[in-house]
């Protein structure tokens, strides 16, 4: 049975994380309708909210806090603002900078779910006597007959967000509610529902960018914290083809913004193949060289009580990416994955999430890749 909106002998005490966006507002309203005792909370994630993205993006600004409070008033639930700015800076922002400095490409939204929304927030909620945390994510929790829980994709694959929730463990799933997960409706219909409920956020734009980078300039954000460091851009033969102001400003598979002085011999575009923070060098080459046949991932987290058994699964490598068939096994605490067909543009630091059908098996952080036509990177 699904447990997105469980009806129990007693109403659950639910803490609804309200970002100030339409999804979390509707999720909180649905939790109330399901008979739960709901309290809304907005997470203040910056000591200086004006430094975070403005323009009603639905995440971390002062406007978002006010929008969340107004939504809570309309729904008729208590509302609080909790200051988690220091924890967010340490676990998400500092981690983001450190990963790029090391030549890896992190996913801050996934880290936020792991460390903030379902760790710091959940721990505080449980300490205060709440039974569950409710969010506006599109995913489904299934309660099995033996009492175990599984995380599954949302009913609507177009809105599925299980990839960024793949870090949740069994304990966290036991206290997670996703009221929108079984919704076979379009985003327009969610907005229409919000409008019917009198929620002013009904027409508010979705948040897509990194919330703590105010102007959307990731390279500039990193340069301000790490400093500019000129280095070489080289091709696969080691020939210098350009310069850069910091290897941290690039990601595997990047094509735009390379500012390479002269074209490749075949006239085709070149892409970032490797980032070496040790010698501050960026290697570029043809798109075919991005094909990856296998990878190793570290820090696996399982959405269940046990690690995944060796076998065939599907894998997702990006929040909005497709699935690839893989064979995966755990070896000495590391996840070893081989792809049935090569995949393109896989970067260390990204998360790989394994699925068995619609069930989320677990998530791990990509450490190394094996190119289909070259040695391990």
Tens digit of each residue's pLDDT (9 = 90 or more) over 7-36: 444 689 999 999 999 999 999 999 999 999
Q: Which of 314, 313, 289, 311 is nearest to 370 (CA)?
A: 289
CATH class, range 289-371? mainly beta
What is the distance between the alpha carbons of residues 211 and 109, in angstroms, rounded to a whole number? 9
What is the distance between the alpha carbons of residues 99 and 28, in angstroms, rounded to a whole number? 34
Confirm whether 211 is a catalytic residue.
yes
What is the CATH superfamily name and number for domain 13-203?
A: HUPs (3.40.50.620)
Average pLDDT, integer, range 301-307: 83
Tens digit of each residue's pLDDT (9 = 90 or more) over 182-239: 776 778 889 999 999 999 999 888 776 688 887 778 888 888 898 888 999 999 889 8
Longest Cα pair distance anywhere in the chain, in angstroms? 71
| Domain extents in the chain | 13-203, 228-285, 289-371
What is the distance between the alpha carbons of residues 305 and 308, in angstroms, rounded to a whole number? 10
**Catalytic entry in 59, 60, 109, 112:** 112
DSSP 376: B
What is the CATH superfamily name and number for domain 228-285?
A: Adenine nucleotide alpha hydrolases-like domains (2.30.30.280)
What is the distance between the alpha carbons of residues 67 and 58, in angstroms, rounded to a whole number? 9
β-bridge partners, 325: 314
Tens digit of each residue's pLDDT (9 = 90 or more) over 341-369: 999 979 999 999 999 999 999 999 999 99
Q: Rounded to two decimals, what is the model's pTM?
A: 0.88
Tens digit of each residue's pLDDT (9 = 90 or more) over 84-106: 989 999 999 999 999 988 888 88
Q: Which of 309, 310, 304, 302 is nearest to 353 (CA)?
A: 302
What is the distance between the alpha carbons of residues 369 and 298, in angstroms, rounded to a whole number? 12
**3-state DSSP assignment of residue 142:** strand
Tens digit of each residue's pLDDT (9 = 90 or more) over 159-178: 899 999 999 998 999 999 99
Mean pLDDT computed over every residue of the chain: 87
Output the pLDDT for position 49: 52
What is the distance between the alpha carbons of residues 132 and 245, in angstroms, rounded to a whole number? 46
**3-state DSSP assignment of residue 180:** coil
**Catalytic entry in 59, 134, 211, 303:** 211
Average pLDDT, integer, range 134-158: 90
Over pLDDT 90: what percentage of the chain? 56
Confirm whether 112 is a catalytic residue.
yes
């Amino acid at each position: 049975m699904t447990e997105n909106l469980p009806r129990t002998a007693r109403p659950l005490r639910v803490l609804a994380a309200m970002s100030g966006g339409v999804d979390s507002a509707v999720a909180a309203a649905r939790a109330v309708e399901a008979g739960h005792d709901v309290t809304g909370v907005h997470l203040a994630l910056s000591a200086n909210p004006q430094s975070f993205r403005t323009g009603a993006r639905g995440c971390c600004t002062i406007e978002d806090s006010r929008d969340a409070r107004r939504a809570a008033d309309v729904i008729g639930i208590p509302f609080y603002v909790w200051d988690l700015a220091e924890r967010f800076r340490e676990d998400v922002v500092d981690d983001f900078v450190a990963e790029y400095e090391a030549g890896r490409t992190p996913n801050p939204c996934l880290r936020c779910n792991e460390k903030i929304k379902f760790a710091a927030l959940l721990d505080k909620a449980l300490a205060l006597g709440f039974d569950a945390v409710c969010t506006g994510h599109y995913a489904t929790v299934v309660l099995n007959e033996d009492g175990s829980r599984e995380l599954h994709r949302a009913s609507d694959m177009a809105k599925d967000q299980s990839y960024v929730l793949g870090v949740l463990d069994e304990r966290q799933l036991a206290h997670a509610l996703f009221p929108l997960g079984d919704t076979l409706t379009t985003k327009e219909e969610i907005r229409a529902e919000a409008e019917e409920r009198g929620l002013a956020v009904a027409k508010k734009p979705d948040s897509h960018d990194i919330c703590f980078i105010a102007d959307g300039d990731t390279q500039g954000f990193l340069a301000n914290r790490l400093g500019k460091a000129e280095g070489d851009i080289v091709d696969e033969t080691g020939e210098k083809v350009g310069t850069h102001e910091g290897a941290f400003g690039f990601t595997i598979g990047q094509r735009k913004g390379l500012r390479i002085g002269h074209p490749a011999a075949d006239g085709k575009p070149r892409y970032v193949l490797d980032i070496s923070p040790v010698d501050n060098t960026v290697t570029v080459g043809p798109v075919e060289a991005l094909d990856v046949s296998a990878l190793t991932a570290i820090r696996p987290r399982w959405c269940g009580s046990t690690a995944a058994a060796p076998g065939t699964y599907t894998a997702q490598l990006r929040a909005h990416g497709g699935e690839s068939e893989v064979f995966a096994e755990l070896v000495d605490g590391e996840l070893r994955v081989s792809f049935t067909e090569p995949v393109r543009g896989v970067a260390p630091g990204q998360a790989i999430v394994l699925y068995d059908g619609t069930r989320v098996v677990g998530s791990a952080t990509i450490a190394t890749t094996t190119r289909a036509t070259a040695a391990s990177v």
